[in-house]
Each structure stands twice: as structure tokens, then as C-alpha cells.
Structure 1
Amino acid sequence: MDLPKIPIGKWVEAGEAWLESNAGPVFGGIKVFIGSIVNGLADGFNALPPLVLIALFTVLAYWIAKARVALFTLLGLFLVYNLGYWENTMETLALVLTASLISILLGVPIGIGCARNEKVQKIVTPVLDFMQTMPAFVYLLPAVSFFSLGVVPGVVASVIFSIPPTIRLTNLGIRQVPGDLVEAADAFGSTPMQKLLKLQLPIAVPTIMAGINQTIMLALSMVVVASMIGAQGVGVDVYRAVTQTKTGVGFEAGLAVVVLAIILDRITQNLVTKKRKG
């Protein structure tokens, strides 16, 4: 005797239809907000001459991460420009920065809430497990349903995929603050907010920044997936090369992603070191 199938898929589709019917204005507002940020950043990057922007990024890399990273930034971005992927790479950078910023603004407060309340952590932890293990392609379906095709569903899917490290490592960083320091702060009459801002967060910054670094890398790994639903950027070139079996074009476009990933990774890693030395 066959057991009846649990209609999980129908329940999900019913919930999706209810949200589309009752929360349309909310999704419309989110779409306008996210779209304006991505387009604003992309237009800003592409408004400047590429060589000027390469010089600015090189100076930034030197200020934060010193000579070797600055040299790689100069050579890597010039290679991207020479190969003809500059505009698409800047669109990808705009998408990644937007997704990372949203993930940080949402993830850090949630991580703080998990660190300060066991009940919140017990609720959030299984949700994060679900988000990290569910295939990324599954996020595209509701994102397209709520926001249609374009860059916005790509950003939303990237946020869902990349936010867990920020939440987890913010929680971990605050929980790893030595107990005797917390007791000393309590003994001196610190309020919970003072204790958080002046003790726990400063000590937890390296761990939090490690989570932010992972979030940026995960957001960058979604650029090809996001291109499948209309998001612009270098992911489109990679996806087109795959569908047309153009190995050389795919390798060149992949190099642009690699250059961007290494620059963002080294800058965020050295940002913590620079802050601690300062």
C-alpha cells in the first residue's frame, strides 16, 4: 500500500500565491529600492573612465593592503579592461556590493540577537542550516515570481545564499568575548548597549569581518546563477560561453571574476589588520 504524498510543493505554491496577492506593494518597493542601488552603483562606476577608476582602486588597495595587493589590483583590473569585460565587471561589482551591504545590514543585528538570546539562536540556527544547504537555484524561483526577471531577483537570491556566514560569525565573535571582561563591564555598571558597543563588538570585529569576507565571496559566486534570470554583469558572458561551448571566452570571463574575487578578498582581510594596528 502506497502512502499518500505529503503535498509540500502545493503548500509552498499556495504560500507564494498568497504573498503575491497580498504583499505586492511591499515587493514592488523592495524592487525599486534594490534596483536603484545596483543601477546607481553601476552607473557611477561606468561614468568614470576605466583607467581613472583603475587608478582609484589601486590607491585604495595600497592604502588598505599595501604594495603587493595594489600591484595585483593594477595589473588585474587592467587585464579585465584589456579583455573587454570592464563594463560587465563593474555591473557585477555593483551587484555584489549591494548584496553584501544588505547581508551585513541584516546579518549583523541578527547575529547580535542570537548572541544575546538563546531562544533567538535556537530559532535562527535551523533556518541558517536550511538556507546554506538548499541548492541556490531553488531561490531563483520565488525571487523571479516576486520581482520578475532582472538584477533584483539576482540580488535577493544572493542575499539569501550569502547572509548565513555574517550571522553565524557575528554570533560566534560576541560569544567568544572573555567572560571576565563582561563581568568587569557589569561590575562598573555598564548598560547592555554600552557593553555591546564598547566591549563586545570591538573585540568581535576580526571574527565578524571574517564572516563578512565569506559573505562577499558567496555573493560573488552567485553572479553566474543570477545571470540566468536576467542579472547583468560578467556572469552573462560566462553563461553564454557555457551554452555555446566557447572555452576561450568562458576562461576570459572567468578570469574577470577571479580578479574581482581576489581583490575583494584581500582588501577585506587587510581591512581588519589595518584597523587593529590603528
Structure 2
Amino acid sequence: MLDFLTEFPSLGRRDLSALRQGIDESFRTFSRAYGEQLEAFFNPLLKFLVWFQDLLTDAPWPLVILVIALLTWLGARSWKITTGTVLAFLAIGILDMWEDTMATLAMISVATVLCIAIGIPLGILMARWDRAQSVITPILDVMQTIPSFVYLIPVVMLLGIGKVPGLLAVCIYALPPIVRLTNLGIRLVDREVMEAAEAFGASYRQKLFGVQIPLALPNIFAGVNQTIMMALSMVVIASMIGVQGLGVPVLRAISNQYLALGLMNGLAIVALAIIFDRVSQTYGKRLQSYRETGRE
């Protein structure tokens, strides 16, 4: 019995080592066989991201600030938030962080659009079928809890260093909130409202797009808000695999102990987070007030 106990750990280690080697070899084989096809598949996304970043960087800064101020006003309908946004971007330009900020803004914008395009249909699927929810929920748990450096490894092995791997890493981390809150928002729609829609002869499509999604919009926009915040939190980590933006100088400041450089670029990330947060929250509250007014 004692001999078995002393030999058991070594046997387990050998088996575990063989399993690890098998996984590594299988993934290397897969990356060699399909790496080029995956790069070709994501090439249009890379071209769009590069075009959008160049557009923001090369456009005259007064025009960019004007467009951002207009979008902020349309979303928040608040002069305070709009003025604060303009002042924040002016400060970013004065402190020579404009290009890095535009690169970060392009990355976060594209990542948010991708998360919305993927997350809302997944949330609807989870709300309509309990079996889909039971399958997707553990996957979302893994996406939210696994350390980001872990899933950077297979992404970099498949696609190398660059913008697309960073974008995929950001999307993996930022996708779960929009999926969960879309599912929650649709499930919270009053059953009586759905019964009334059925009584009027509404089809499945009419009930979904005319009743459920409009009533779930405040929750959906709360998910968009959390997705943006989580995407911004990945800026520094994404810079480690070649993504340009505010994370690069922050990473350089950490490596060389440049306090001022890290502080300024960190505050720029905070400013973007506050702007996105205030605009999305205010827009969600407006949707909520419209829904309550409609009920009255």
C-alpha cells in the first residue's frame, strides 16, 4: 500500500506530461494546417480596423472633436457631459496623446460593434431556449473568469502578433455582459404584455422586434455599457501583443518606471471610460423614462 502511494504521484505526473504534450502537438498541427486560412478569414476585419484607425488619426482634430461632441450630445442630451467630453479630448491633444487615443478609440469602437453583433443574438437565443442558456452560460463563465493571458496564447499562436489577435482578446473578455443582460432583459418582459401581443395576433417576429427587444433596451444598453468598460480594461494587456494605443506608453512606463508617462496615459484611459459610461448610462435612463411614460 505504501509503495502504491509513493509511486502514484509519479505515474500521475507522467500521464499529465503526456497529455500536455499531446495537446501542444495537436494545436501546433492545427495552427500549421489552418493558420493561413484563419488569417485570410480575419483579413477584412484587419483592413477595416486599420482604415478606421487611419481615418481617426489623419482627420483634422477639430473635425474629430466636433463629431465626438455631436455623438455625445445625441446620446446624452446633456451640455455638461458634452462640454466635459470636448475638454477631455482637448487636454488629450495638448498632452500629445492624440494618436494613441485615436488608436484606442478605434479598437474599442470596433470591439464594441462586434460584441453587440454577436452578443445580442446570443442573448435572444438564450432567452428563447433554456437548453441554449444551459450550454452558453458555462462558456460565458469561463470567458469572464479565465485569466486573459491564458487565451492570449492560442490566439497569438494562430494569428501571430498584431491588431486582430488583440481585438479578439478584447472581444472574448468583453462579450459576456451584453449576452447576459440581453438574456435577462428579454426574460424580464411581463408575461401579460406577451399574452396581449398574442391576443392581437402578433407573429413571433413581431413579438420579438416589436415588444420584447424594445422593452429590454434599458437592460441591453446596460450590457453595452459594461462591455465598453471591460474592453477599455483590456487596453494595456492588448498592447503586449502589438496593439497600438494608450496601453503601449503605459506598458513602457511600467517597464522603465516612468511615473508621469504612465499617469497621463492612464488618466486618458479613465477619461474615455468616464465619457463612454456617462453617455451610455444617460441614454439607457432616457430609454427607461420613455418606457415608463409609454406605460402611463
TM-score interval w.r.t. the shorter chain? over 0.9
Whether contact under 8 Å (2:217, 2:287) holds in the other structure is no
Cα 1:19–1:198 change in 2 (3 A) is farther
- Structure scoring higher RCO (CA < 8 A, sep ≥ 6) equals 1
Cα 1:20–1:40 change in 2 (3 A) is same
- The residue type paired with residue 225 of structure 1 is I
Bigger drift between 56-65 and 235-244 goes to 56-65
- Distance, in Å, in 1 between the alignment partners of 2:94 and 2:41 is 36
RMSD: 1.7
Question: 1:266 maps to which residue?
Answer: 278
Whether contact under 8 Å (2:81, 2:278) holds in the other structure is yes
- The residue type paired with residue 56 of structure 1 is V
Q: Structure 2 residue aligned with 1:105, among 113, 117, 123? A: 117
| Count of aligned pairs | 278
Q: Structure 2 residue aligned with 1:50, among 58, 61, 69? A: 61
Residues 87-146 of structure 1, C-alpha deviation per residue, up to 9 Å, x if partnerless?
110001111111111111111111110000011000000111111110011121111111
- The residue type paired with residue 45 of structure 1 is L
Map 1:138-217 → 2, pairs under 5 A: 138-217=150-229
SS in 2 for 1:177: coil
Q: Which runs of 4+ in 1 moved over 6 A?
A: none
Whether contact under 8 Å (1:31, 1:147) holds in the other structure is no
- Distance, in Å, in 1 between the alignment partners of 2:34 and 2:283 is 40
- The residue type paired with residue 277 of structure 2 is D
Cα 1:263–1:175 change in 2 (3 A) is same
Whether contact under 8 Å (1:103, 1:166) holds in the other structure is yes
Q: Structure 2 residue aligned with 1:41, among 48, 52, 76? A: 52
Whether contact under 8 Å (1:64, 1:274) holds in the other structure is no
- State the structure with more CA Rg: 2
- Distance, in Å, in 1 between the alignment partners of 2:63 and 2:274 is 20
Q: Which runs of 5+ in 1 are unaligned?
A: none
Q: Could you tell me the TM-score, scaled by structure 2's length?
A: 0.89
Question: 1:74 maps to which residue?
Answer: 86
- Distance, in Å, in 1 between the alignment partners of 2:245 and 2:52 is 13
Percent identity over paired residues: 38
Q: Could you tell me the TM-score, scaled by structure 1's length?
A: 0.94
Q: Shift of the alpha carbon at 1:25?
A: 4.4
Residues 27-73 of structure 1, C-alpha deviation per residue, up to 9 Å, x if partnerless?
11343122112111111111211132123212322232211111110
Q: Shift of the alpha carbon at 1:14?
A: 4.2
Whether contact under 8 Å (2:35, 2:159) holds in the other structure is no
- The residue type paired with residue 78 of structure 1 is L
Question: 1:20 maps to which residue?
Answer: 31
Q: Is 1:29 equivalent to 2:40 in the alignment?
A: yes
Q: Shift of the alpha carbon at 1:236?
A: 0.2
- The residue type paired with residue 255 of structure 2 is T
Whether contact under 8 Å (2:49, 2:106) holds in the other structure is yes
- The residue type paired with residue 155 of structure 2 is A
SS in 2 for 1:189: coil
